[in-house]
Every structure is written in C-alpha cells, then in structure tokens.
Amino acid sequence: MNPDHDRRSRLLGRDVLRLGTTGLRARPTRAVLSALGIAIGIAAMIAVVGISSSSQAKLQAQLSALGTNLLTVQPGQNLFGEAATLPTNTVGKVGLVDGVEQAGSAAVLNGVLVYRSSLIDRASSGGLGAAAVTESLLDVVGGTLATGEWLNRATASYPAVVLGSKAAERLGIATVGSMIQLGDQYFTVVGILDPLDLAPELDTTVMIGETVAAERFGYDGKPTTVYERSSDERVEAVRELLPRTVNPAAPEEVEVSRPSDALAAKQAADQAFTGLLLGLGSVALLVGGIGVANTMVISVLERRREIGLRRALGATRGHIRSQFLTEALLLSALGGVAGAAIGTGVTSVVAAVNDWPTAVPPEVLLAGVGATLVIGAIAGLYPAIRAARTPPTSALSG
C-alpha cells in the first residue's frame, strides 16, 4: 500500500448523504415533527399562490371566452347635472368608427313594467325592466339562448319578447310560448337567454324589438346603452373616438366603459388578500426553520459520543460539519416536499370545489422547495459548526 496515496481522510459524496440520514432514521418521530413546521409553512404558501392562480386561470379563461373588446356607451350628465341622452342614430354612428366590428343597443322603456299576468298586483313588478333592443345585440354581448329564439326582423315588429335569465326565473317561465304583460299589453315569450357575464344588466330585462316598441310604447329611438365590439388592438383607439363620434356637440355627455374591467378589478382585490396570506405563510416558514435549528442543536448535544467516535474513525471537522449540515438540509427538504404536496392537494381540492382549473405554477413549487433548502442551510449552519467543534475526545470521556 502506498502511504502517500492514503494520506488524507476522505468521505464519498454518497456517504455524506447516507450519514445525513442516520439521525433522521434513529429518531423518525422527532424528524417528522420538526419537518412539520416547514411543511406547514410551505403548504400554506403554495396553497395561497395555487388557489389565487387557479382562480385567476378561471378568470383568464372567462375573459378570453367573453373577450375584453366589448365597450359600452351610455349617456352621462350634462353640465347642469341633468341626465343626458344619446342621439337617435347612435348605433349607426358607432358602426362607422374605424375598427368597430359589431354594434347593438338597448333602450330601457321607462314606465313599462313587467307582469306575469293581469292577475298580478300592479305594485309587484319584480324589479324587472323592459327594453327595446336591436337584433344585433345578442351577438355583440356574446349571449346564448337557454331556449327558444332571439328576435329577428319579423318578431321585432310583433309582440314577441325574449327574457333575460333572471327575468325568466322571477316570472317563473321556463319554456317559450307563455304570455306575459308589458304594461297592460300581452307579449309572447319567444326565447330565454343564458346569464350574460359582460352585460348582467340585461339578465333582469325583458327585450322586445324596436319596431314594436315604437308602435306600442312610443319608443323615440334614443338608446340608453350601446354595446360595441372591435378588434382587440383597436379597443383603446375606439374608446377615444366614441364620445366625439356619438355626440360631436357634447362629447363630455357620453360615458364609455369596459365591462371586462370590472372582472379584472375583482382579480386585483383577490391579489391584495393573497399578499397578506403569503406574509403569514412566510412567518410559518421562519418558525419552521427555527424548529429545525433547535432540533439540530439538541441532536448535536445528544450525539457528542457519536461525533467523538467518528473523529476517532478519522473524520475531519469538515466531515462532521457536512454530515450535520446534510441532516438539516434533508430535514427541511423533507418538510419542503411534504409541504409542496400538501399545498398542491389543498389547491386542487379548493379548485375542484369552486369549479376552477387547478393551476400551481411549477416555478412556485421549485421556489418553495428551494426556499426550504436555503432555510435548512441557514438553520443547520450553527449546529453543524458546533458539531465540528465537539472535541474528538468526547467518545472516551463519557
């Protein structure tokens, strides 16, 4: 044997890992309990991020299905604080704006109340309103029919009515063919809409054609809301142009809004809450790290003899240090992986309950487990240094 060859103490990488597990295997309960702190912290953070991103994924899917290119035009107030009106040919003008692909309008018919039949008390109109709408409205707001048909050029001239989803519910109508009263006149239900996410105001409205509205209720052709869709890249430009196009004399009396902004605002509110929960999760993680450090310090004190023995077997201080550092890393990685699994599980349960897609960003999982390794390294450093300083004579002096 060449004495120069075996001059140095050596510890193979595999063995460092193996030694790192000895303490954990010797006291599994303690290992599990001290990893639990880290697991809870990571689980909380991943669940918070996962739930928030799952609900966002749902919202994104919703927004992309609904489109963010719908703008509404409504009359505002004039300089004296009085309610303004939109001009009669607003839909036509909007349709001329460069980039506008579809336009439609609804005009709430003031004073026209809706009743199931003539037997209903006149005071109980159920909060429903009637509106004269253009035939193009359904496509513009992306509406779909639960049953029956939308208004067409023929039915727009006759006493035919399409119900919003809530209006149908309140009137107790589920099939077409029923008669309802608008004011004192009977109209036949020809269709019922599904709920409209971007135009929820239409859900409580019963809709009739403009022609029949003009004939029977004296509709003056001035819409109360104009709905418009353009190509996505033209939305902002169209938004700028709309007030002056609709009412060149008084563009300040025209209000343009984007219904999808309301949904996005809800998302921003969720994110503020997420930030708070993330803060709580990181406190849990910190406490978990302190737990690991504590366990490791106790472990080092208890294992003085083992350390002494290892020094007698030829371990250098560095070998002892890396053994205990590895143990701390494994301990917190154990917590991290368990926490990531728990967090993902919680996310998928919450997502399933709310009918969201489960979306845990992989980079969040990686960051979570990575954070536990950093915590393990910091938590293990001091105990490992203490272990390395344990005098080699400890195996004998017991």
Partner 1 sequence: MTETMTASSAAAGRPAGPPIIHLEGVTREYGEPPTLALAGVDLTVEEGEFVAIVGPSGSGKSTMLNVIGTLDRPTGGTARIAGSDVGRLSDAKLSALRAYRIGFVFQQFHLADGSTTVDNVADGLIYAGVPRAERRRRAVVALERVGLGHRLGHRPTQLSGGERQRVAIARAVVGDPPLLLADEPTGNLDSVSGASIVELLHELHEAGTTIVVITHDAELAARLPRQVAIRDGRIVSDSGLAA
Residues engaged in binding partner 1 (CB under 8 A): 6-12, 14-15, 18-19, 22, 25-26, 305-306, 308-319, 391-393, 395-398
Question: From start to end of 42-197, where are the E strands?
Answer: 70-75, 100-115, 129-133, 145-148, 160-163, 179-182, 185-193
CB of 303 to partner 1, least distance (A): 11
CB nearer partner 1, residue 31 or residue 132 = 31
CB closer to partner 1 out of 299 and 347: 299
CB of 299 to partner 1, least distance (A): 15
Rounded CA-CA distance 111/120 in Å is 17
Q: What is the dihedral of CA 46, 47, 48, 51, to 10 degrees?
A: 120
274 or 316, CB closer to partner 1?
316
Q: What angle do CA 4, 8, 13 make, to 5 degrees?
A: 130
Check: CB of residue 299 under 8 Å from CB of residue 383.
Answer: yes
Pick the closer one to partner 1 by CB: 25 or 153.
Answer: 25
Q: How far is the CB of 395 from partner 1 (least distance, A)?
A: 6
Q: Which two tokens stand for residue 114?
A: 């809706």
Distance in angstroms (rounded) separating the CA atoms of residues 288 and 286: 5
- For residue 286, the minimal CB distance to partner 1 (Å) is 32
C-beta of 6: minimal distance to partner 1 in Å?
5
Nearer to partner 1, 7 or 153 (CB): 7
Which residue, among 25, 35, 8, has the nearest Cα to 339 in the 3D structure? 35
For partner 1, give the closer residue by CB, 92 or 391.
Answer: 391
* Closest distance to partner 1 from the beta carbon of 22 (Å): 7
| Dist CA 383 CA 381 (whole Å) | 6
By beta-carbon proximity to partner 1, the closer residue of 77 and 393 is: 393
Q: What would the two tokens of residue 27 be?
A: 């006291």
Tracing tokens 């201080």 back to the chain, one arrives at 317
Phi, psi of 145 (to 5 degrees): -95, 130
Query: Which amino acid type is present at position 198?
Result: L
Give the shortest CB-34-to-partner 1 separation in angstroms: 19
How many C-beta neighbours within 10 Å does residue 184 have?
Answer: 10
Is beta strand 160-163 parallel, antiparallel or unpaired with respect to 185-193?
A: parallel
What stretch of H or E contains 256?
Answer: strand 254-257
The residue among 15 and 236 lying less far from partner 1, judged by its C-beta, is 15
Q: Look up tokens 């604080």; give the residue.
A: 81
CB of residue 314 vs partner 1: minimum separation in angstroms? 2
